[in-house]
Amino acid sequence: MKRYYFDHAAATPLDPAVEKAMKPYWREIAGNPGSLHWFGQQASAAVFSARETIAKSLGCGYGEIIFTGSATEANNLALRGVMKSVLNDRNVLGVVNDKTTDRTIRTAGTDRTMIAGKPKIIVSAIEHDSILDTCKDLEKEGVEVVYLPVSKAGIVDPASVAKALDERTVLVSIMYANNEIGTIQPISEIAKIVSDFRKESRIRNKELGKNPNPIIHNSLFDLPLLHTDAVQAFNYLSCNVEELGVDLLTLSAQKIYGPKGVGLLYARDAQVFVDDKKTGTVRTIPPLEPLITGGGQERGMRSGTENVPGIVGFAAAVKRTDVMREKEVRRLSALQKYFLEELHKFAPKVALNGDRGKRIPNNINLEIPPPADGKGSAQDLVIALDLAGFAVSPGSACAAHTCAPSHVLRALGHSPVRAMSGIRITLGRQTDKKALNSLLRALRNLLKN
């Protein structure tokens, strides 16, 4: 039986050029990048060169990239790392969250500063679980989290970000493209709002003679910071961090035809004078504290021997994606349109979840109405398609082999039953019209039963 893969949002096959680039780093150049000898230095040079390639694509400095073991880890580092930095507050001696009074108490030498309220994070209700579950955990540690609603089409309203921002806000984290319904969020507009808020609060506090950042005393950064999870976006949208206006950005190699087991967090550096009284030296530091400590790799932000083949493969995948992006967007947009037109000829009641225009071109998330006899569900359809050789994904969250209504579809206003009725078809570089026609034939057969 011929098998067809339509689950590129979950994982993508390794690009042959990526595999070739990685090959020498399994056996021939297998040194530890931390070693002094030739083998170590070759590995170290490969990691450096990969970092430069990716930095060029993102429009950032090479020192602003932190390689991680996954996008999940990068998202955790963004949220927990920034919060850790805030709660540790580099420039004060101690910070405690007083749970009884709900106040953050800072002690800087003899100066005790009281800041009203909890530190706050703003996220959208449709973020990936690696953001949402991390938020739930941070809530237990005394952080307030605001979950912004989305429109029926699955888009965050930038005005809702503006409304939620206040002086306690440390971080805003809004994904660039959604993994279930593919909707593209207005990150540049949100960035402008965050940046304006920072400017205004700096002016306001200066006028009041107050510290510019009530949450971080003497902060090296203007708060709040803006993070975007661009894992699903990178294949189809440029992720230049300056153009987007973000301070932190997450990527994953395995979603862009690179290897599994490697992700990254871009973290904007601040240039600061440290030890200025003594030496006046300038140093750059990222706005976050590490979660994994040890050998001091990744400038101390993520210890552990670097995944050399993975990092080399990541850079090769980035390079290839940058070259292919424009053409793939055009090709997949045409295929996406073709599929929906053909589908609606025999299944007019099947609706598309998420915005039709503001979505990445590989995503087709369908709402399958339950059959008249009430028997069978979208998950049964996914299984039936799999048995016929077509790999698609249920729209609901079946990550840990238990199926719950999709939190993304719930956020669109769907009932729990409707939120279980989605199937996600995600196209990729290998998808052509012939494959789509085969899938359409299979769907026509299964939907009439």
Under the criterion CB under 6 A, does residue 42 sit at the interface with ligand PLP?
no
Shortest gap between Cβ of 311 and ligand PLP (angstroms)? 15
User: Count of residues binding ligand PLP (CB under 6 A)?
Assistant: 14
* Distant-in-sequence, close-in-space partners of 194: CB < 8 Å, separation ≥ 6: 161, 165, 172, 224, 226, 245
Residues in region 169-208 near ligand PLP by CB under 6 A: 175, 179
Binder to ligand PLP among 160, 201, 254, 363 (CB under 6 A)? Answer: 254
Shortest gap between Cβ of 70 and ligand PLP (angstroms)? 3
Under the criterion CB under 6 A, does residue 265 sit at the interface with ligand PLP?
no
Under the criterion CB under 6 A, does residue 252 sit at the interface with ligand PLP?
yes
- Which of 376, 365, 344, 316 is CA-nearest to residue 6? 365
Under the criterion CB under 6 A, does residue 222 sit at the interface with ligand PLP?
no
Shortest gap between Cβ of 156 and ligand PLP (angstroms)? 14
The 48-77 contact track toward ligand PLP, x by CB under 6 A, reads ----------------------xxx--x--
Under the criterion CB under 6 A, does residue 231 sit at the interface with ligand PLP?
yes
Residues in region 388-447 near ligand PLP by CB under 6 A: none
Q: Which CB, 15 or 229, lies closer to ligand PLP?
A: 229
Binder to ligand PLP among 12, 134, 232, 353 (CB under 6 A)? Answer: 232
Q: Which CB, 11 or 388, lies closer to ligand PLP?
A: 11
Shortest gap between Cβ of 392 and ligand PLP (angstroms)? 15
Shortest gap between Cβ of 199 and ligand PLP (angstroms)? 30
Residues in region 295-354 near ligand PLP by CB under 6 A: none
Shortest gap between Cβ of 122 and ligand PLP (angstroms)? 17
Q: Which CB, 256 or 435, lies closer to ligand PLP?
A: 256
Q: Which CB, 254 or 396, lies closer to ligand PLP?
A: 254
Q: Which stretch binds ligand PLP (CB under 6 A): 14-22, 49-57, 227-235, 306-314?
A: 227-235
| HEC-encoded secondary structure of the chain | CCCEECECCCCCCCCHHHHHHHHHHCCCCCCCCCCCCHHHHHHHHHHHHHHHHHHHHHCCCHHHEEEECCHHHHHHHHHHHHHHHHHHCCCCCEEEEECCCCEEEEEECCEEEEEEECCEEEEECCCCHHHHHHHHHHHHCCCEEEEECCCCCCCCCHHHHHHHCCCCEEEEECCCECCCCCEECCHHHHHHHHHHHHHHHHHHHHHHCCCCCCCCCCCCCCCCEEEEECCCCCCCCCCCHHHHCCCEEEEEHHHCCCCCCCEEEEECCEEEEECCCCCCEEEEECCCCCCCCCCCCHHHCCCCCCCHHHHHHHHHHHHHHHHHHHHHHHHHHHHHHHHHHHHHHHCCCCEECCCCCCECCCEEEEECCCCCCCCCCHHHHHHHHHHCCEECEECCECCCCCCECCHHHHHCCCCCCHHHCEEEEECCCCCCHHHHHHHHHHHHHHHHC
Shortest gap between Cβ of 150 and ligand PLP (angstroms)? 14
Q: Which CB, 130 or 365, lies closer to ligand PLP?
A: 130
Binder to ligand PLP among 130, 213, 219, 377 (CB under 6 A)? Answer: 130
User: Which residues are part of the catalytic machinery?
Assistant: 398
Under the criterion CB under 6 A, does residue 128 sit at the interface with ligand PLP?
yes
Under the criterion CB under 6 A, does residue 359 sit at the interface with ligand PLP?
no
Residues that bind ligand PLP (CB under 6 A): 70-72, 75, 128, 130, 175, 179, 229, 231-232, 252, 254, 263
